[in-house]
Structure 1
């Protein structure tokens, strides 16, 4: 199993690296087909984020499946404990899913079945400020991103390969990477779609239908040619 450790705005000490490798020894036991593990450690210097200044992200590549978790605390060892708790839970869930798929039951799960037992977390929780008033959504986003007011923010771009899948499969993939949404191609319609977590125990699906627009463009082009 290949392990890559990257430090952002911080230096990874040899002591912490040894401790990290000891923790990662659990991964092959839970997911023997794991080929690579990427670990990113980030230090946040914003004084407003002291309680979550140390962030650890771990991404496991298990054959064609990506399992990801992250944790943040005021100290890197505590952040590692948090992320390992989430990661081991998701790896166990992946193992349980594969065992079920080998029992001969080929029926695809419904959305209710696919989401049963999954934990939900609000996207932004309202916390009291110093004067007792709740923060606005904009203030919460600024704090999460480490920005103030109209400060420039960092934009990350990710491209991932994916095969067409059902809504239930997309929900499972979303939970394995620990995101609140997941972009996929619907196997039935062929449309780009997004599953996302709503408040409480509900989920939503957004589908992008480009067929009508393409048809109108073709008709308009035909009229111009004619």
Structure 2
């Protein structure tokens, strides 16, 4: 995976480059086929001469959708960690979604199939649509009344 650094109004050190490189290894483990990771670091200037924090934006280009995460922090390390956490969460969600929906030739169970299997395991017969309609219209009591 290619790692690109883009800076605006700030210098980055070799220490920060090494830090980002180490953390980028985690992305390579979760992403399917990552092509490049763009790390944009910029300095925010507060109003009236006040010094602002740092802003980090991550953009991951892979085979599939482009993922973006950005964050502000007191320094570039804190901002990077927050953005990295957001990026990892996006990757986890995409991976889980792929596991559920694209697991080879298996298709996910429909709600009807899943509930029918669960009812069969508990030895319960689900209500028929006619029974549900009678309960809904009040023709049939939900709880049987006690015998008088």
Matched, 1:93 2:93: yes
- Mark the structure with the bigger radius of gyration: 2
Partner of 1:3: 3
In 2, Cα distance between equivalents of 1:51 and 1:89: 31
Partner of 1:69: 69
Aligned partners of 1:58 and 1:69 also within 8 Å: yes
In 1, Cα distance between equivalents of 2:83 and 2:60: 12
Over the residues paired in the alignment, what is the CA RMSD in angstroms? 2.3
In 1, Cα distance between equivalents of 2:19 and 2:7: 15
How far 1:101 sits from its partner (Å)?
Answer: 2.2
Aligned partners of 1:50 and 1:74 also within 8 Å: no
How far 1:105 sits from its partner (Å)?
Answer: 2.9
Aligned partners of 2:57 and 2:70 also within 8 Å: yes
Task: For CA contacts below 8 A with separation 6 or more, give which structure has more relative contact order.
Answer: 2
After alignment, is 98-107 or 62-71 more displaced?
Answer: 98-107
Higher helix share: 2
Aligned partners of 1:51 and 1:74 also within 8 Å: no
Partner of 1:37: 37
TM-score, scaled to structure 1: 0.44
Change (3 A) 1:91 1:44: same
Q: What are the equivalent positions in structure 2 for 1:143-182 lying under 5 Å apart?
A: none
Aligned partners of 1:71 and 1:80 also within 8 Å: yes
In 1, Cα distance between equivalents of 2:55 and 2:49: 11
In 2, Cα distance between equivalents of 1:24 and 1:85: 11
Partner of 2:22: 22
